[in-house]
Homo-oligomer: A and B are copies of this chain.
Amino acid sequence: MRFISETSSDGVREQLFTLDEVPGALWTPEGAAGARPLILMGHGGGRHKKDPDVVAWARRFVVECGFAVAAVDVPGHGDRPKDERYDKIAIENQARVAAGEEPAPLIAGFQALVARQTVPEWRAALTALQRLEHVGVGPVGYWGVSLGCGLGVPFVAAEPRVRAAVLGLGGALAAAEAAARITVPVEFLLQWDDERVPRAQGLALFDALASVEKTLHANPGKHGEIPEFETDSTLRFFERHLGQGRRLDTP
């Protein structure tokens, strides 16, 4: 793990790093020392580790919960080089959709392929991050919607260190088999009028999760329109499952 830059603002320390050529960002409370919960965040399709939404959520986890948060670029995204193999498939898929094929199975197949690379990358990132003194070996959570769900489901299924996950905006085609191996608590976000993921596919992915505690939060609106109050809910969810106390839940 090689650190590239470090900045601080409003109580949050941001460190950019690379690990085996995977670029990442780590956010921790300024002056943090010792072990704490760590949230790994998976960004959306066409976005990157410092997507404004990712950064906004990360800062709240750091400031309000005292957690460490990290995100790494998915292959072909952010500061990673273009990947000709993935590009070729993406172009082929676009042509197949233009020719009338259903996009959902194509996206599902593509995400499953990329997950074969990202699952080991993210597991390696966890190991490296938890060796840092200001992160340490605390409970781990995962947050990812859309592409972050498609890649997150196989990751959470494979990684026993993850104790709780926020997932959503994804469908069963991509991930039902891996979802059936997830047993940790999950908060699942579904947009009722999602133009990219058919409603039945989202409900089926929630249904496929083997977790005893799983909670579906569905709200009106399109793919990108998760309401602001769900951020509050996510903070409480991770506090409940990863935090020491119940600061936000109790009066």
Contact = CB atoms under 8 A, between A and B. Distances in A.
Contact of A217 (B215, B229, B247): B215
Contact of A218 (B192, B215, B232, B247): B215
Interface stretch (A111-119, A133-141, A205-213): A205-213
Given A206-B218, A215-B217, A216-B219, 4 more contacts: A192-B216, A213-B219, A215-B218, A216-B216
A181 interface: no
A220 interface: yes
A216 B218 contact: yes
A246 to B, nearest CB: 9
A72 to B, nearest CB: 28
Interface in A216-237: 216-220, 227, 229, 232-233, 236
15 contacts: A64-B251, A192-B207, A213-B220, A213-B227, A214-B219, A215-B217, A215-B227, A215-B229, A216-B216, A216-B219, A217-B217, A229-B240, A229-B249, A232-B249, A233-B233
Nearest to A64: B251
A124 interface: no
Nearest to A207: B192
Interface residues of A, number: 24
Given A233-B233, A247-B251, A251-B248, A215 B206 contact: no
Contacts of A216: 192, 216-219
A218 B218 contact: yes
Contact of A232 (B192, B217, B236): B236
A231 to B, nearest CB: 10
A215 B215 CA distance: 12
A206 B219 CA distance: 10
Nearest to A250: B232
Contacts of A229: 215, 240, 249
A88 B151 CA distance: 57
In the complex, the 5 A-B pairs of residues with the closest C-beta atoms, listed nearest first: A216-B218, A64-B251, A215-B219, A232-B249, A217-B217
Contacts of A240: 229
Contact of A214 (B203, B215, B220): B220
A64 B251 CA distance: 7
Given A232-B236, A249-B232, A251-B248, A212 B207 contact: no
